[in-house]
Amino acid sequence: MKKIYLDYAATTPVKANVLEKMMPFFTDKFANPSSIHSFGEEAVFALDDSRKAVAQFLNSHQREVVFTASATEANNMAVLGASNNGHIITSSFEHEAVLGPCKTHTDVTYLPVYKEGVVKVEDVLKEIKENTTLISIMYVNSEIGTIQPIKEIGEALEEVNKNRKNKILFHTDAVQAANYLSCDVNNLKVDLLTLSGHKIYGPKGVGVLYVREGSKISQILYGAHQERGHRPGTENIPAIVGMGEAIRSIDVNDSKKTKTMRDKVIDGITSSISGAALNGSRENRIANNINITFTGVEGESMLIALNEEGIAVSTGSACASNSLSPSHVLLSLGLSHRAAHGSLRITLGSMTTEKEIDELLTKLPPIVERLREISGR
């Protein structure tokens, strides 16, 4: 049985050209970039080359690119480093890598996202206080794929900051956005931005935090002076090289083909399965995300049944897949606990084919029907 992978929001495979670029840095070019000898210089060159690739993608200076061990670490650096014990504004459906560090603070405002799953700019502005130091709003939600008005928030905040003594920093988690949307930091008007290697067909174990020059963020890790003091520790050169090559390989034009397949899945499921409804806005949605609630059936049961048919999907964020609690993202849309438990996240990628989509649309309806009969709903 041929397996079909439709969980690209959880992680992506490493592209062949990315792996090829990484391999020499495990063996022949293995040196520590902090070493002054010629071996170390080779590692430094590779580090700088990847930093240049990321900077070009972000339209930033190379010195503003900080490599980390993950996007989770980068988000923690942004929130804990930029908050400075002040007031934080974030959304109610951020990734746990943002919500977690926010929970360590006592003065945090969690914005509603409404049924469409989109933050309103006016809600952000009305919550700004004298002691507000950080606004963190994700670019694309990791579970339902809705796109947030980052540019509009950034532009509005730029005007607010003109009349403030202490600038409010603006952070966005762009992990799910990078493959399909522009991450030009000057256009978005952000001060901090997070990326992840394994969401863009690169390796796991590497992330990026963009830090706009002049942005004051406190150090949260100590021990050495790598990454201009932001992130101490010997750089993971093979992973960073992979990140650079993956960034170079991004083609946002791929989104048109992916969006066509996404719409086929949404239309196919909602027209063939009664009680199936899309979660979040269809218009303000990333090209590869489908998140649907099915009445009268558990999401985990559907996931297991699809897996037995060789089709891999998800019930939400992979980071929370071991939790029995309903998704905080779906609850933030106003769904009941029961409805939130009856949802599937299907995410497409560059290797997804029409044949695989057709297979999903053939296999899913009878699975839902059978599970509803078993549950008696």
Q: pLDDT, tens digit, for every residue of 212-258?
A: 999 988 887 777 777 776 787 888 999 999 999 999 999 877 888 99
Q: Where are the domains of the chain?
A: 4-12+252-375, 16-249
Report the CATH fold assignment for 16-249: Aspartate Aminotransferase; domain 2 (3.40.640)
Q: Indicate the pTM of the whole model.
A: 0.94
Residue with tokens 């290797």: 351
Q: Long-range contact list for 216-222, CB < 8 A, 24+ apart?
A: 216/82, 216/84, 217/77, 217/78, 217/81, 217/82, 217/169, 217/192, 218/80, 218/81, 218/82, 218/84, 219/81, 220/76, 220/77, 220/80, 220/81, 221/77
Report the CATH fold assignment for 4-12+252-375: Aspartate Aminotransferase, domain 1 (3.90.1150)
319 annotated active-site: yes
Which of 23, 224, 304, 319 is catalytic? The answer is 319
Q: Is the pLDDT at 370 greater than 70, yes or no?
A: yes
Select from 77, 103, 109, 91 the least CA-distant residue to 193: 77
Q: pLDDT, tens digit, for every residue of 262-310?
A: 999 999 999 999 999 999 999 999 999 999 999 999 999 999 999 999 9
Q: pLDDT, tens digit, for every residue of 149-191?
A: 999 999 999 999 999 999 999 999 999 999 999 999 999 999 9
C-alpha to C-alpha distance for 156 and 89, rounded to whole angstroms: 14
